[in-house]
Amino acid sequence: MLFTTATLAGFAALAPSAFALDNGVGRLPSNCVMIVAWNAFVCNIDDTIILETASLMQSLGLQDAGYTQMNLDDCWGEKNRSADGVLQANAERFPSGFINLTSQLHDMGFKAGIYSDSGWRTCQDYPGSYSNELLDAETFQDWGFDYLKYDNCYIPFDDIIREGTLGRFQRMADAIANLSSTSGQPPLIYSLCEWGWSQVWLWGASMANSWRVDNDIAANWDSIAAIINLASFIPQATNFYGRNDMDILEVGNGDLTYEENKSHFTAWALFKSPLLIGTNLSAVSSEIVDVLSNPEILAINQDPVVGTSISPFRWGLNPDWTSNSSFPAQYWSGPSQNGPCSCWSLNTLSEPADMFFNLTESPWIRAGRSYSVRDLWTHSDNGTAIRNFTAEVVPAHGVVALLLQDAGDEPDGIDPLCAVYCQCGTENGSYVYGGCTTEY
């Protein structure tokens, strides 16, 4: 890929702000992470399931595709701390302890993640880390974990905490930073789970690598569409080192159709969300493995040059900026290292539809140029787009994901002279096309 000076200047403008937690870990989404415990298994986790899942990650090709981490969720512990106040692995389900488990995962080439809570107890009523932040961060690091998901249950009363949500999550951020400075080890990747209740996208980047933006996902299209709708309003929160976490992937779960699975995965990946597989891999179909391992979609999620999220350039069905949990924005684009533009059209209807956009509706497209079109799901080149693109008969809840690459000047003499012609005019001051209805 050759970058023009203009392209590189554009990317520089997309560098993370000083606000981002540039502490050496978590620059790219923590992909690819396997949550072993929550959506698929809930509390029924043990070391056998985790090691079997790690083997499946390898035999199914998911590790090679880039999923390099295994995460525990809630319910891994004893119900109480030890007599000296330390968290304990559940003796029945993890009889060999976590040092043993993480070293086996490390030997298999995986990193490991663990879960705790910013309150007194976790959401499933195991000990939380409030007032034990440094001790627990040390314990997690000693056990060999590299990543911490931090939840939001059993919050201490106001006269105890005397802090807002931000302060409570900051306590663990400080503990992680202090521990790293004294131990010399990299900080734990820090993943906040406060469900977006305190507009975490406004402050999460100051302390964490990712932050959950919504309540728990469910394995149905209504839930996926609602999260996409929320995401359409907060793409600017995501960049290198810190990003909106759209929640664990439900790809392959519940009653999602094949098209819905593809749309769900495309959305999460192009939002640059962490990709946390939440499927029981011992029962997964090869079709779903192919969705999760789509190399061209994963490459955009893991883009080392562009950290920003895709964002809508037109809502489509609804007027721009409409919040509609059932029918979210349909036309999206973002810059990409191989781009300049990855574009994405989502058919939010429950019936097939044609999807159409003018190229220059996306800010990443240059006027007067033609673009080669790469289809990221059929893995084929789909001709050259000039001025606009139409995807015909996109299935219900289906997606068209494209990589547009500059293919040189458009042919001379195309009429109209400007693709978007409101305010398009001649040097001597007359409008070339007067069809605008808006007064300027």
Stretch that binds ligand GAL, among 78-86, 105-113, 118-126, 423-431 (CB under 6 A): 118-126
When asked if residue 44 is in the footprint of ligand GAL (CB under 6 A), the reply is: no
Phi, psi for 52 (deg, rounded to 5): -65, -40
Annotate 144-158 with b (16+ C-beta within 10 A) or e (fewer): bbbbbbbbbbbbbee
- Which helix (H) or strand (E) covers residue 403, if one does? strand 399-409
Give CA 266 to chain center in angstroms.
Answer: 10
- Spatial neighbors of 328 by CB under 8 A, at least 6 apart, are 225, 226, 228, 229, 232, 315, 346, 348
Q: Name the CA dihedral angle for 144, 149, 152, 157, rounded to a multiple of 10 degrees.
A: 30
When asked if residue 151 is in the footprint of ligand GAL (CB under 6 A), the reply is: yes
For residue 216, the minimal CB distance to ligand GAL (Å) is 5
Binding mask 187-206 for ligand GAL (x = CB under 6 A): ------x-------------
Cα separation, 53 vs 62, in Å, equals 11
- Spatial neighbors of 89 by CB under 8 A, at least 6 apart, are 76, 77, 78, 97, 98, 143
For residue 142, the minimal CB distance to ligand GAL (Å) is 23
Stretch that binds ligand GAL, among 85-93, 94-102, 122-130, 346-354 (CB under 6 A): 122-130
When asked if residue 41 is in the footprint of ligand GAL (CB under 6 A), the reply is: no
Here the tokens at position 181 are 């400075």
151 is annotated as an active-site residue = yes
Stretch that binds ligand GAL, among 22-30, 120-128, 164-172, 405-413 (CB under 6 A): 120-128
When asked if residue 297 is in the footprint of ligand GAL (CB under 6 A), the reply is: no
Report the site for ligand GAL in 124-143 (rule: CB under 6 A): 124
When asked if residue 74 is in the footprint of ligand GAL (CB under 6 A), the reply is: yes
For residue 74, the minimal CB distance to ligand GAL (Å) is 3
Cα separation, 187 vs 104, in Å, equals 21
Report the site for ligand GAL in 235-274 (rule: CB under 6 A): none
Q: Site for ligand GAL (CB under 6 A): which residue of 64, 142, 163, 216? A: 216
Nearer to ligand GAL, 264 or 397 (CB): 264
136 is annotated as an active-site residue = no
* List of residues contacting ligand GAL (CB under 6 A): 38, 73-74, 122-124, 151, 193, 216
